[in-house]
Amino acid sequence: MRKFCDLSGRIAIVTGGASGIGRAIAFKLASLGATVVLGDVKLEELKNVVNEITQQTSSKVLPLYVNVGDFNSAKEFYQKATEILGIDYVDILVNNAGINRDALFVKMTFEQWDEVMKVDLYSMFNMTKQVVDGMIRRNYGRIINMSSMSWLGNIGQANYSAAKAGVIGFTKTLARELAKYNITVNAITPGFIDTPMTRAVPEKVRQKIIERIPMGRVGSPEEVANLIAFLSSEEASYITGEVIGVTGGLVL
């Protein structure tokens, strides 16, 4: 009998797979049987992650360079991935790669604004554009976009909040446009998850944030990956256009 959330035979792309949440997602999808194409700008780190996964699962995992903020790079990444795998579609896209460049707006530079927009928001267009035709053709798809609780607004994150709010508008629109092709599109809003991104937060600020989390602790990347695995599966067939938090109860 097929196991709950079995992803055997499915092909997934996960961006930002060299670290943090992306790494945990790759592990989870591979452990459920999916073939995973992992993209990141950090190719060496990516290869290490792929080695770890292939030691622990029997799934095929492919590390490939991609700069998700650049349309041509996304196009080359998809072309290379499909060529190597000998296919012309993927079933699952997890738009996970993201960065923050925090500063109060009065001090924020155009470069900080521009970089975050490219990696956190333009990436949605750049990556999704590659996969959507194949999904429509096959009448099947799962797209999961990484937003953040910061989409509600957060001091020092005008760039990041704007990009992550944009992700939600993008998700809800695509969900409507693609539902008739059996493609679901959902967004995740993690709260404070223990990754290199949040480890960069000064200890004092970190403690203050933790005090505001009803569960009294940071979340783990695996706790986010579990939700993504479910949304990637056939079992999540009637869930689309949703924005789902993984926050330990934190409300900004």
What is the binding site for ligand NAD (CB under 6 A)? 15-16, 18-22, 39-42, 66-69, 96-99, 119, 146, 148, 190, 192-193, 195-198
Distance of CA 179 to the CA centre of its chain: 20
- Catalytic member of 122, 160, 181, 238: 160
**In terms of CB distance, is 67 or 130 closer to ligand NAD?**
67
Q: For 135-146, b where at least 16 C-beta lie within 10 A, e where not — what string?
A: bbeeebbbbbbb
Q: Is 181 a catalytic residue?
A: no
Rg (CA), the chain: 17
Q: What number of CA atoms fall less than 13 Å from residue 111's CA on the CB side?
A: 0
Q: Estimate to the nearest angstrom the gap between the alpha carbon of 131 and the chain centroid.
A: 15
Q: Which is nearer to ligand NAD, 114 or 234 (CB)?
A: 114
CB of 99 to ligand NAD, least distance (A): 5
The dihedral region occupied by 29, where left means phi > 0, alpha psi between -120 and 50, and beta the remainder, is: alpha
174, 188, 189 from 148: Cα distances, Å: 18, 7, 4
Alpha-carbon distance of 238 to 19, in angstroms, equals 30
State the Cα–Cα distance between residues 235 and 214, nearest whole angstrom.
Answer: 29
63 vs 69 by CB, closer to ligand NAD: 69
130 neighbors 88 (Cβ within 8 angstroms) = no
CB 102 → ligand NAD: shortest distance, Å? 11
Minimum Å gap between C-beta 172 and ligand NAD is 18
In the bound complex, what is the minimum distance in angstroms from residue 138's beta carbon to ligand NAD? 26
Instruction: Return the structure tokens found at 92.
Output: 């699952």
d(CA 32, CA 58): 10
Nearer CB in complex with ligand NAD: 33/156: 156
Smaller CB distance to ligand NAD: residue 69 or 134?
Answer: 69
Task: Provide, rounded to whole angstroms, the least separation between the CB of residue 150 and ligand NAD.
Answer: 7
SS3 33: coil
Q: Active-site positions? A: 160
